[in-house]
Amino acid sequence: MDHRPIGVFDSGLGGLTAVRELMHLLPREDIVYFGDTARVPYGGRSPETILKFARQDMNFLCSFDLKAVVIACGTVSTTSLAALRREYDLPIIGVVGPTARAAARCTKNGKIGLIATAASIRSGAYEAVVSRENPAGRVYGKACPLFVPLVENGRFRVGDPVIEIVAGEYLQSMKDEGVDTLMLGCTHYPLLSDVIGKIMGPGVTLIDSGREAARALKTLLTERDLLSDAPQGDTSYFVSDTVDGFEAMASLFLRSDLKGMVQQINIEKY
Ligand code: DGL
């Protein structure tokens, strides 16, 4: 048993897709969430800048006495996971392995789509795991740089003409290839599941990177006997920019009123 909290971070809102799943799978756990809203998006930046930001995010979270960290950010997971695992002495789960393994298991025709940020697509990290897990699997990657800013600005609903046009254009090549499985390789993208599902159609399975990372953490905590037996877990939320927009969007997404529950911190201090 271990009552210490779990740290979760992302460049912004996207990591809440992992938090939502953690709350469902591990309701007794305390969670500390950090969204680097002052510096989102990370996905168009260099690997060096992403690693620098990721170290600051980790340093802030590690100011709490954590038992594990979930990097609920595809961009940090694809570019910085190995370095962070060397530098920090606690279990760290990223989204790449769990997501790519789930996709490799799921595909029937061997055609797996990957949508993610430019940095993640460039890294080749998802492809590397798929080819290990399912040598017959082929990954078709597409960077979707407009998705994160649109989601951060609340443009993620079916019927919103802007997101529907952008998503239609980004996903056309996946439809043309005939993928039967699509990895949402950025944790912001599950917020677009309805929009993406409508375009891809019912024959394509969407793999939610936030959810897969949460499942992998549950397995890890169970195997290492690190689960909490508290009656009910608590979640604290921190961001690096003003709290208002995040509070409103997070409340909508988590279906719970977070007004007054989000704190702003200065991430440059870490
Ligand atoms: N949620 C982040 C990811 O999974 C968004 C990256 C960004 O800030 O561009 O990649």
186 is catalytic: yes
62 is catalytic: no
The runs of H, that is alpha helices, within 69-224 are 74-87, 96-106, 118-123, 125-133, 147-152, 161-177, 193-200, 209-223
Indicate whether residue 125 lines ligand 1 (CB < 6 A).
no
In the reported structure, the alpha carbon of residue 115 is separated from the centroid of ligand 1 by a whole-number distance in angstroms of 11
**Tens digit of each residue's pLDDT, the chain (270 residues):** 999 999 999 999 999 999 999 999 999 999 999 999 999 999 999 999 999 999 999 999 999 999 999 999 999 999 999 999 999 999 999 999 999 999 999 999 999 999 999 999 999 999 999 999 999 999 999 999 999 999 999 999 999 999 999 999 999 999 999 999 999 999 999 999 999 999 999 999 999 999 999 999 999 999 999 999 999 999 999 999 999 999 998 998 898 999 999 999 999 999
Contact between 17 and 72 (Cβ < 8 Å): yes
The distance from CA 87 to its chain's CA centroid, rounded to whole angstroms, is 21
Q: pTM to 2 decimals?
A: 0.96
